[in-house]
Amino acid sequence: MNSLHTYLFIALVLFCIGLFGLLKRRSLIGMLISVELMLNAVGLNFMAFNRFLAPDPAVGQVAVLFIMGIAAAEAAIALSLILALFRKIRSINVEQARQLKG
Amino acid sequence: MNPGFPYLSAILLAPALGLLVILLLPHDNRRAVRWVSLISAGVCLILSIYIYAAYDRAAAGLQFVERASWVPSLGIFYYLAVDGINLPMVLLTSIVFFTGVWTMWDLQHRVKEFFALMLLMVVGVYGVFLSLDLFFLFVWYDVSLFPMYPLIAIWGSTRKEYGALKLTLYLLAGSALVLPGILYVYFQSGLFTFDLVQIAQAGLPVEAQYLGFFLFLFGFGVLAGLWPFHTWSPVGHVAAPTAVSMIHAGVLMKLGAYGVLRVGMFLCPQGLADWSPLFALLATVGIVYGAFVGLAQTDLKYVIGYSSVSHMGLVSLGLATMSVGGISGAVFQMFAHGVMTALFFSSVGHIYDRTHTKLIPDLGGMAKVMPRASFFFILAALAGIGVPCLASFWAELLVFIAGYQAYPLLGVCAVLGLVISALFMLRVVQKTFYGEKNERFAAAPDMTPAMALPRALLAGTILLFGLLPRLALDLIDTGVAPLVGMFK
Amino acid sequence: MAGDLMLFLPEAACLLMALTLFGLSLPKHQDQRRVHSWAMGLSLLMVAAGLAGLFQEGHLFFEAYRVDLFSQFFKLLLAVALLLVLGICRQLTGVEERYQPEFFLFLTTCTLGMMLMVSAVELMTLYVALELSSFSLYILVPLRSGDNIDVEAGVKYLFIGITASCLMLFGMSYIFGAVHSTYLARIADTLPLWIHQPGAVIGLLLTLSGFFFKLAAFPFHFWAPDVYQGAANQVTTYIATASKAAAVALLIRLTALSAGTSLYLLDVLMVLCVASMTLGNLAAMVQSDLKRMLAYSSVAHAGYALMGVLTMTRLGYSSAMFYTLAYMVMNFAAFMVVVKVASQGQDLKISDLAGLHRRAPLLALTLMLALFSLAGIPPTVGFTGKFLVFAAAMRDGHFWLVLVGMINATLSLYYYLMVIKAAYLTEPAEPQESLAITGPTRALNYALIAAMVALGLFPRQVLELTEKAVRNIF
Amino acid sequence: MTPVAPNGGELSLALLAMGLPLLSFFLVFFVTRPRVTLSCAVSLVCSGLPLLAAIWLLAGHWRMEAPILWELTWMRGGGVAVTFGFLLDPLSLLMLCIVTGVSFLVQVYSLGYMAGDPGKAKYYAFLSLFAWSMISLVLASGLMQLYIFWELVGLSSYLLIGFWHHKFSASQAGKKAFVMTRLGDLGFFLGIIVLLLNLGDLSILGLNQQAATRLTPGLLTASALLIFCGVVGKSAQFPLLTWLPDAMEGPTPVSALLHSATMVAAGVYLVSRLFPFFQGSPQALGWVLVIGTVTMLLSSTMAMVASDIKQVWAYSTVSQLGFMFMGLGAGGYFAGVYHLTTHAAFKALLFLCSGVFIHHYATNDFFVMARSGARSLKVPMLSLTVAGAALSGVWPLAGFFSKETVLSALAELPNPAWLWLGLLGAGLTAYYTFRLLFVMWRPRRTQPPAGHAEHGEGGHHGAAVYWVMAAPLLVLAVLTALLGAAGPALESFLAWGRPLPPGAHHGWLVAASVVVVAAGAGLAWLEFGRAGAAQQGFLSRIPGLWNLFANRWYLDWLYRWLLDHVVYGLFSRLFTLNDRRVVDGGIDGFCRATLGAGWLLSLLQSGLLQYNLFTMVLVMALVGLYFLLV
């Protein structure tokens, strides 16, 4: 059970779930959460590779820390934008935000 | 031989300087704008007459050479020179440019922009004719094309925006074939130089010449009005203002043929050998077809446009024969047709300015109303149908002989086209200038002597080269002979 | 230490600028003019720093950060771009007053991010730098005053962006798995080991997608039209010029890793290149909003730039760099006109340009030249750029690619001509007052015209510089 | 025989003859046009001096042994060289005299005829141009030079025929003349090219001496026939004969010039110029004979029903030209040339006389003229009679002798049919000529003389004008009367003074021709001359034939139909449609399609975020898939 491929597989599945959610959900919040899932999948990947292959165990962990940090910032910005959008069009459903097209 | 004074650069720079000066002039100062452009045109004319006279026919070859490395890493050179082929073209450009500027003297609408664009275009034309470096040749080629859009679309007349757009896109689509061709040749030659002469001397691999010539033939051919890529030309001519159609039909269409000759045939003689039957066929179709379509036109400028298609077909036929006679004839035809068409358009322009129509049925009896304009038009028409002792007769003579020698059947068809063109030219002359005069325009003023002068210059050129064809042909032969040597 | 500072000079200047602007943005009521003057001064300083550091060589931060002519060239480019953009931000019409100081701040941080990005030779550094620049842009887009399309554009930009960066990270993780290192140098060294592992190559591809996003290349171009239209004109100008440069730089760095040994990568890049060109040009033909049209044209230009990149040869890379420079200059010229004409910061329909030749002849001239340059008509810099790129492609025998490129150039001419027609031919329905053009703007116009023509006719010096720069990475 | 170079005198004289008319053209057209009298003076001087030069040359070389040749290279390009120069030999000298003489007389005559015409100066300029091109054609040393001036002759005739171009019919006639002759010149040009490519030498002497030996018979015949096409066009032979009658639209002096010495004579001159060359191929000569015969008969029939005096002479010109070609075709070199000479004299005379009447009575219908008392104009009337008699071949006038030579040439032919046809032609000629003469002499006064009220072409002027116009008539009349006696002298001159082969002289032939002429004249007397004659031709009782002849055997109708339905209706319309719809429409369609594609692609930007994301992911997935597949 504790082979590299297991982790990679789980990460892939996680990533795909995130992707699916991203495409499926119409509410911006839901999409944001799916993106977080994908980021976590990436983190998992890094840790796995780090654990099983990398000579220098620090790299992967650093990477994951960075990703988490940046993901937080990202979430902040995303939420503020969603809030702004909500102020303007009274909805956080992307289907409502379709003025720009063509 | 390399004279101290860089005459060719001077010819190239004179309009460029004029352009700068015009851009700096204030908008409302029309006199100054006109004078600046006329002066720069005059300088060009004088310089080109000088080099035309000073060119050493005995020595032949490239003369007045100016060569400097421009971008060493890519092998781009600033390389100007003249030989028997481009020297007549330069002279032609100067004559038409000068007369064109003079013809537009009375322009009132957005004068500054007009002359600025016209000078820009002419810089491009000189650049193409003078430079022997593929990179610059292409640069100038496009420079000479894109000013056409505003020139036609702003100052034009019939369906001007449509015509301008069509013309510009069509021609630049043609150059979209040329650029790959140039790059292809550049890398196939293995020399990594854009120096046309070097590549020509080194020679390209035969299989490369096949594709290369194809690209050049149709890339430049579009501008040469090669059938069936000719429809832009009547539309454009009809839309364009007088001087622009003069320069365009008179000079720009020659750029195409010149490109096929200078780039295509110099670099890919073998390719020409492969493609020449098709080339000749299209040319002949153009000759006959143009004449027949011209027969059915009711708009003076359309008529001239289609006659240009027909005459440029002669040029192509001459090139396709791959013989000294044919190619010399073609080059001379470029010159003669250039002057002739310029005369055509300048006369029609006058008629149109005064009567505000160029529809043949509306006109009639013009010979009584404006004798000068009619005289010039009729002279041009006679030159167009190949009356002897007018310049184009000799060119057509040579082309027909060579054409008949190379492709007897096509040659006969081409000669037949001559009769048709005679028919439709005379028809136009009869319907427009003869007959009872149309009272509507009875009061329309004729050209003032001052305005007749540029036309007279053109007419004089036609007569001069018609009576003394050796002025041009002895020179052209020196340029063509070595090229034909490459076909062997 | 001093040497290291010397190496870090441009970034340091940028950092200083960012901090100062941050300080200036703290007070509640801030005079926008004052901030602008500060910003101008500091960015001038930054350009000076960029020039000073142009020929520096060396490494920083444990080899994670490489300073060479290549990176410095782009940093200088970025600094200049920032300066230019700030140059047309004297009166920030179209940006909400209270956010105007932040506007300058985020422009600076974004530039900083990109500067770090072009020097980063380690995946994590790269990622952080990228996100720094992206986040600033995410915030800049919705700062527009007035209607709410800006927020919508911002949201779309954000989500497409983060999706792209997720893909990129995912790819990075696989590269890390294949090479066990995040250092580009190490990745390049062990190239033979991984170039044929599916995971690694797909990883590399996914990694590139992050930069396709920045470059707005197909299929990551969807944000471009919306953001160009939605964002304030000044912001659009910045996005259209600076961020492109950084993206090209990164694409060059990363494709250089595979050193053209992977035919597969080549094919993919070719497909994306052709798709971007064609889609961009065709879609641009039917646009009525000027900025949107330019957005699509920028998609097409991303394709041209890719053509230089995908050859993965020195000539290709140097020509791509030249093309980036050219694109920056001419695109900036075009957008400068947009900003000036839209004096209220509104969106410009193409038809709004009617009669421009009378309202502001100089602007009209600049616009015409810029558009012809974008269309690749000589003797402008745009032509020379295209010529070089095509030459590079042709040299590798991509004859058809060049042909398609030229055909696309012809197509593009159509919609550029439509704009020129609007500016020069059509007369406005009701006569509009002529635009007042200040001295600096006039000078800027002359400078741009001169630059477009001069770079087009005399590319020699710049070309030699780029060639030298490419030798550093390849 | 080898040519010799001219001495100074000959050179200057010949160049004078060639150069002066051109000079006067440029002077009059570009400089002195506003001042009419000056223009006329210049032009007269510049056509008089060449005449003197021509006579001088002729007299000086009456006993010449070798042709005189002088050339310089006019154009050289791609191995093709065109020479410009002159070749003086009996033929060209004789023709030079004819041309210069007639054109001088015509110019004098025009002084009166064109008096008061606004375009008089321009008219004289064109006359000079005409003279120049014709003289240079006559003296041409090479076939290419001949062709060039051949074309110029066509051009100047175009200008002169359409001189009153405000009249639609006039401009139409000019165009018709130009295009129809152009059609023939096509063949001429091709023939020249064939010779050039196969022989490489276009000098007339060279052709006459070597062509027969150096060319294969097939090529020889082909080139000869092609060249003859040009002749058919220029000399208005069948089937291209319809332009000449229309050419009457020009001023009458122009018609005189056209019909006697210049335009149409050029064709005959060309054949006789290249006579040895033509002789090289019997087939070609056979064709010349056939065409000549057909033309002669056709046009005489047309002349029998015409009531327009100029038309009558026009048809007679065509038929007389046909007669000359018969002579040449029969191998009678001298016959053709001699008849050309005499015909030049009396045909010019005929036209100039008719001109006086037309000018005086402002009508072209000789019935009307007669009724208006044409008899009262003595000089024209007499000269008209003399000329008419000469035309129909009455002894002792010039026409009689030349016709005799032609007939005897025909008699040499193995097949007697040609001779009979020739005689028939002579009879018809006599008939229509005397028909006209009798009508003019013995008018039926049905109504009072139509006064000089209406002014058609020209108009009535004073006695001075009358005499200016009458003087040339007298000169020509004298010539017509005397040229008959000059026959033998001319023959020996043309034969380089060598003793002539004793041509079998057929006494019965003379008798036969006299009989035939008498018959024709008699018929005319019965129908038009005698007292109480109805002045109705027997043809008027055969409507079918009458219509056929009156409509020129429907040749014109045929050409018009071809032009309208084939050239305009079929090709021109078809090509134009193709140009609009297919060629141009194709381009426009392509452009529209491109725009449509753009619109479709812009739909991709649906505005819904998820679609965009989905496309992104999809494309990347496809790319990955592609990797796994390859």
ipTM of the shown complex? 0.87
Q: Which residue has the higher pLDDT, D627 or D125?
A: D125
Which domain range does residue B421 map to? 7-482
Cβ-defined contacts of D4-8 (< 8 Å, 24+) = D4/D66, D4/D67, D4/D68, D4/D69, D5/D68, D5/D69, D5/D70, D6/D68, D6/D69, D6/D70, D6/D88
Measured between CB atoms, which of D598, D619, D624 is closest to C283? D598
Of D601, D620, D628, the CB nearest to C282: D601
Q: Average pLDDT in the C409-422 region?
A: 90
Please check the confidence at residue C300 and state whether its pLDDT lies above 90. Answer: yes
Q: Determine, yes or no, domain membership for A102.
A: no
Distance from the D147 Cα atom to the nearest Cα atom in chain B, whole angstroms:
9
Res B232: pLDDT? 87
CB pair distance less than 8 Å for C163 and D616: yes
Write the residue in A42, A84, A89 that is nearest to C169 by C-beta.
A42
Residue from the list C387, C394, C424 with its beta carbon closest to the beta carbon of B187: C394
CB of C361 less than 8 A from some CB of B: yes
Touch between chain B and chain C: 3 or more Cβ pairs under 8 Å: yes
Determine phi and psi for B133, rounding to 5 degrees. -110, 130
Q: Do D610 and A102 touch (CB under 8 A)?
A: no
**How far out from the chain centre does Cα B203 lie?**
28
Phi (first) and psi of residue D520, to 5 degrees: -60, -50
Confidence of residue D501 (pLDDT cuts 50, 70, 90): low
Domain coordinates in residue numbering, chain D: 286-499+507-550, 558-629
Name every residue whose Cβ is closer than 8 Å to that of residue A90 and which is 6 or more positions away in sequence. Answer: none
pLDDT tens by residue, B410-467: 988 888 888 888 888 888 888 888 877 777 777 778 888 888 888 999 999 999 999 8
C-beta atoms of B180 and C394 within 8 A: yes
User: Closest residue of D to B481, CA-based?
Assistant: D78
pLDDT at D451: 43
Mean pLDDT of chain B: 88
Pairing of the two strands D68-77 and D80-88:
antiparallel
Contact A45 C173 (CB under 8 A): yes
Average of pLDDT values for D58-80? 84
pLDDT at position C302, please? 92
B contacts of D80 (beta carbons < 8 Å): 325, 397-398, 401
B380 and B432 Cβ atoms separated by less than 8 Å = no
Task: State the nearest Cα–Cα gap between D585 and chain A, in angstroms.
Answer: 29
Say if C and D touch: at least 3 Cβ pairs within 8 Å.
Answer: yes
Nearest CA in chain D to C282: D598
Instruction: Assess whether pLDDT exceeds 80 at residue B317.
Output: yes
- Nearest CA distance, A63 vs chain C (angstrom): 6
| pLDDT, average across residues B32-44 | 91
pLDDT digits (tens, 9 = 90+) for C89-141: 888 788 877 788 888 899 999 999 999 999 888 888 999 999 999 999 998 88
What's the CATH code of the domain at A9?
A: 1.10.287.3510
Q: Which amino acid is at D627?
A: F
- pLDDT > 70 fraction of chain D, expressed in percent and rounded: 95
Q: Tell me, what's the pLDDT at D504?
A: 56
Chain A residues with beta carbon closer than 8 angstroms to that of D605: 101-102
Mean pLDDT of chain D: 83
B-chain residues near D188 (CB < 8 A): none
pLDDT per position as a tens digit, C389-404: 999 999 888 889 999 9
Residues of chain A falling short of pLDDT 50: none
Nearest to D610 among A23, A99, A102 (CB): A23
User: What is the rounded distance in angstroms from the CA atom of residue C38 to the CA atom of residue C56?
Assistant: 27
On whether residue B188 sits in a domain, the answer given is: yes
Longest dimension (CA), chain C: 69
Are the beta carbons of B146 and C421 separated by less than 8 Å?
A: no
Cβ contact, residue pair B154, C395, below 8 Å: no
Cβ contact, residue pair D613, A100, below 8 Å: no
Question: Which residues of chain A make contact with D614, given a CB cutoff of 8 A?
Answer: 23
By the 8 A CB rule, do D180 and D243 touch?
yes
Q: How confident is the model at residue C34 (pLDDT cuts 50, 70, 90)?
A: confident
- Which chains share 3+ C-beta pairs under 8 angstroms with C? A, B, D
Q: Please tell me whether residue D447 adopts helix, strand or coil conformation.
A: coil
Predicted confidence at residue D462, as pLDDT, reads 64
Sorting pLDDT into bands at 50, 70 and 90, what band is D445? low
Instruction: Find, among D430, D436, D190, D136, the residue nearest to D310 by Cα.
Output: D436
pLDDT at D372 over 80: no
The whole-number average pLDDT for the span C30-34 is: 80
pLDDT of the residue at D455 = 41
B131 at interface of C, judged by CB pairs closer than 8 A? no
3-state secondary structure chain C: CHHHHHHCHHHHHHHHHHHHHHHHHCCCCCCHHHHHHHHHHHHHHHHHHHHHCCCCCEEECCCCEEECHHHHHHHHHHHHHHHHHHHCCCCCCCECHHHHHHHHHHHHHHHHHHHHHHHECEHHHHHHHHHHHHHHHHHHHHHECCCCHHHHHHHHHHHHHHHHHHHHHHHHHHHHHHHCCCEHHHHHHCHHHHCCCHHHHHHHHHHHHHHHHHHCCCCCCCHHHHHHHHCCHHHHHHHHHHHHHHHHHHHHHHHHHHCCCCHHHHHHHHHHHHHHHHHHHHHHHCCCEHHHHHHHHHHHHHHHHHHHHHCCCHHHHHHHHHHHHHHHHHHHHHHHHHHHHCCCCCCCEHHHHCCHHHHCHHHHHHHHHHHHHHHCCCCCHHHHHHHHHHHHHHHCCCHHHHHHHHHHHHHHHHHHHHHHHHHHCCCCCCCCCCCCCCHHHHHHHHHHHHHHHHHHHCCHHHHHHHHHHHHHHC
CB contact under 8 A, C407 and B113: no
pLDDT at D449: 45
> Is D389 in contact with D395 (CB distance < 8 Å)?
no
Contact between A43 and A50 under an 8 Å Cβ cutoff? The reply is: no
Yes or no: say if A39 and A71 are a contact pair by the CB < 8 Å rule: yes
Residue pLDDT, tens place only, D134-174: 999 999 888 889 999 998 988 888 888 888 888 888 888 88
Distances, alpha carbon C407 to alpha carbons B5, C121, C396, C457, D303, in Å: 42, 37, 19, 23, 69
Which chain A residues are within 8 Å of C163, Cβ to Cβ? Answer: 22, 35
Structure tokens at B450: 């001052």
Interface of C with D in 254-273 (CB under 8 A): 264, 267-268, 271
CA nearest to B148 within chain C: C417
Shortest distance, CA B143 to any CA of chain C (angstroms): 6
Q: Using CA atoms, how far apart are residues D310 and D458, in angstroms rounded to an integer?
A: 15
Which residues fall within 8 angstroms of residue D261, CB to CB, at 6 or more apart? D98, D99, D101, D102, D103, D134, D344, D348
**Percent above pLDDT 70 for chain C:** 99
Contacts of B319 in chain D (CB under 8 A): none
Does B488 fall in a domain? no
Give pLDDT, residue A51. 82
Asked if A23 and D608 come within 8 Å (Cβ–Cβ), the reply is no
Q: Considering the entire predicted model, what is its pTM?
A: 0.90
Residue D437's contacts (CB-CB under 8 Å, 6 or more residues apart) are D384, D385, D388, D524
Angle (CA) C305-C311-C314 rounded to 5° is: 95
Q: What is the mean pLDDT of residues C301-312?
A: 90
Helix residue spans in D484-572 (DSSP H): 487-494, 507-524, 543-550, 555-561
Kindly state the tokens that stand for D189.
């040009």
CA nearest B285: which of B416, B175, B425? B416
Is residue B331's pLDDT more than 90?
yes
D382 secondary structure, DSSP code: H
The verdict on a CB contact (< 8 Å) between A73 and C154 is no
Distance CA D245, CA D248 (A): 6
Residues of chain C with Cβ-Cβ distance to A66 below 8 Å are 124, 127-128
* Contact criterion met (CB < 8 Å) for A23 and D613: yes
**Structurally, how many domains does chain B consist of?**
1
Average pLDDT, chain C: 87
pLDDT of the residue at D450: 45
CA distance C20 to chain A (A): 22
| Residue B47, pLDDT above cutoff 70 | yes
Question: Quick check: C96 contacting B, CB < 8 Å?
Answer: no
Residue B178, domain member (yes or no): yes
Q: How far is B165 from chain D (nearest CA, A)?
A: 11
Give the minimum alpha-carbon distance from B456 to chain D in angstroms, rounded to a whole number: 11
Task: Identify the contact set of chain A against chain D, taking CB-CB distances under 8 A.
Answer: 19, 22-23, 26, 31, 94-95, 97-102
What is the model's pLDDT at position D517? Answer: 85
Distance CA D222, CA D197 (A): 13
Query: Half-sphere exposure of C194 toward its Cβ, with a 13 Å CA cutoff?
Result: 23
Section B227-243 average pLDDT: 86
Chain B environment of D75 (Cβ under 8 Å): 394, 397, 469-470, 473
- Asked if residue A37 is part of any domain, the answer here is yes
Nearest by CB to D605, from C225, C267, C411: name it: C225
Contact A102 D605 (CB under 8 A): yes
Most D CBs within 10 A among B170, B397, B420, hence the mutation to make, goes to: B397
Distance CA B396, CA B389 (A): 12
Question: Which pLDDT value is given to residue D448?
Answer: 46
Residues of chain D that touch chain A, judged by Cβ-Cβ distance less than 8 Å: 602-603, 605-610, 613-614, 617
Q: What is the DSSP letter of D499?
A: P
Condensed to tens digits (0 to 9), the pLDDT of residues D455-492 reads 444 445 566 777 777 888 888 888 888 887 777 788 88
- CA C109 to chain A, closest CA, distance in angstroms equals 15
Query: CA-CA distance, C409 to C389, in Å (whole number)?
Result: 13
- Are C237 and C348 in contact by the 8 Å Cβ rule? The answer is no
Mutation choice for A interface testing from D600, D605, D608 by most A CBs within 10 A: D608
Q: How many CB atoms lie within 10 A of CB D451?
A: 10
Q: What is the pLDDT of residues D374-384, one digit of tens each?
A: 777 777 888 88
Distances (CA, A) of B337 to B89, B346, D151, D251, D307: 11, 14, 20, 34, 47
pLDDT digits (tens, 9 = 90+) for B156-207: 887 888 888 888 888 888 888 999 999 999 988 888 889 888 888 888 888 8
| A101 within some domain | no
